[in-house]
Structure 1
Amino acid sequence: MIGQKEQGRADIDSSLPLDLIDENQVEERFTFNFSDLPAMFFFWLLVVIVFLQFFTRYVMNDSLGWTEEIARFLLILVGFVGSITAVRKGSHIFLEFLYRYTSAGVTKSLVLFSDLTCIIFYGYCANLSFQVAMRMNQTLVSIPLPKSYIYWTIGVCFLFMACYSLVWLVKRSKLTRHELVSHINNQILPD
């Protein structure tokens, strides 16, 4: 048994590099949109704050206390503001497995139901965020900034996500069943 394993290893030419690159894979072309600017702003502000936190803690051996709290809330904002871009592009994760094995009519119904559900969900989450923002009386511990600003921003992000989902619903409802299936297949498996 051991001899067979050793012989199997000898069959593989170790001088050849591993072929881990798929030549058919195409990278998505970067397209700039002004609605992506807030996400980029919060992301780079987060990078600067975390670098400042790292530098003061490990290089200067005297950490700034406010950087940890600000970094935590900036990370929250990056997540929600970045979600607007994901909804705008239609790049949220979805169950393509289910769409590939149902008929075109069922697929269109599922897609439209999914879009409608997203609109309702985002609208409801925006409502909840605004309710929390109106009731929030606290400020951040490290700097005198009301926490309600964060919840107002999150609520606005949910409203933008609901609007972009509505745009997707309108676009997809205008497509025929077969065009929609073709569009989904192209989204899953780009040319």
Structure 2
Amino acid sequence: MTDYKISNNLAPQESNAFSFNEEEQHFAYSDYKIEDWLAFVLFWLLAITVFSQFVSRYVFSAPLGWTEEVARYQLVCLGFIGACVGIRKNTHIFVALFHRWLPKQVSVNLYKVIAVCNVLFIAALAYFAWQIMPLLHIHKMASVALPISVLYGVIFASLLIMLLRSSQYLFSIFINPQQLCDQNSSASCD
């Protein structure tokens, strides 16, 4: 969780967004999890699909009928898999308006309540996706002979990954609430 508290405490020379330190930049395959690789592969599949649509339509004047629908479904899947990455890294946008004026312990407790609400909300979404999948199995995509439930299967799998990652975060802040204080440099959870 990065918020205003970190950026307000930086010295002017440290706040330059364009200053790079080579020691901080490193690449390790272990930094990337399954949802990162799924998003990477799906992004390039989407790029290939859109490029083939562009070439077939504007170069050969013979558009491929399946590319528009498949690209739309790939984009939906990419959005959900990208949300898995955002939940794992805890980089989703949140509103920290009242967080500035709350006492630090109340703020930490508020983060815990928000984490519980996130887990409950994602669990409800996963439950509804599970309920919808069998109902949509009889409906086929317009241009490809696949049931629409395949799309909801990817959404359901993404929601399960999100549920796992948000549950991991929830347990980590209940076991070690000091990590919230470490992330917010001006907070002292005494």
Please classify the TM superposition score into its range, dividing by the shorter chain length: 0.7 to 0.9
Match of 1:105 in 2: 105
The answer on 1:173 being equivalent to 2:155 is: no
Match of 2:7 in 1: none
Alpha-carbon displacement from aligned partner over 1:38-72 (angstroms, at most 9, x marks no partner): 11111110000000001111111111110000000
The answer on 1:164 being equivalent to 2:172 is: no
Distance 2:19 2:102 in 1: 27
Distance 2:18 2:37 in 1: 33
* Root mean square deviation of aligned Cα: 2.2
State the one-letter code of the partner of 1:155: F
Matches within 5 A, 1:20-169: 22-23=17-18, 31-136=31-136, 137-169=138-170
- What is the deviation of 1:29? 6.6
- Is contact 2:53-2:67 (8 Å) kept? yes
State the one-letter code of the partner of 1:171: S
Structure-2-length-normalised TM-score: 0.78
Match of 2:183 in 1: 183
Task: Give the gaps of 5 or more residues in structure 1.
Answer: 1-20, 187-191
Task: Give the gaps of 5 or more residues in structure 2.
Answer: 1-15
- What is the deviation of 1:87? 0.6
% identical equivalent positions: 30
Structure-1-length-normalised TM-score: 0.78
SS in 2 for 1:144: coil
Greater RCO, CA 8 A, separation 6+:
2
| Structure with greater helix share of residues | 1
- What is the deviation of 1:22? 4.1
Distance 1:33 1:44 in 2: 17
SS in 2 for 1:113: helix
Match of 2:10 in 1: none
Equivalences, count: 165
